[in-house]
Amino acid sequence: MIGQYWGYHHVNDTYMIKLYYGPVEIEEAEKSRYVAAVAGPVWAKDRQDAIDQIVCLLRKKQGLY
């Protein structure tokens, strides 16, 4: 589904990708002690495109590549 997505890297080393509905969820994630990094929102043509973009952004943000 074409739309905006955002995501975060959880401290348990999983990546969570979500549809973007507004800034509130991102703000809450940034405050969470369980979230290592947050990225987005990004426009994507489908969920897989969103996963690819957001994981890349999160890894760059954390210096993982």
Low-confidence ranges of the chain (pLDDT < 50): none
Contact yes or no for 16/10 (Cβ under 8 A) = yes
pLDDT in the model for residue 65? 72
pLDDT in the model for residue 17? 97
DSSP class of residue 65? -
pTM: 0.91
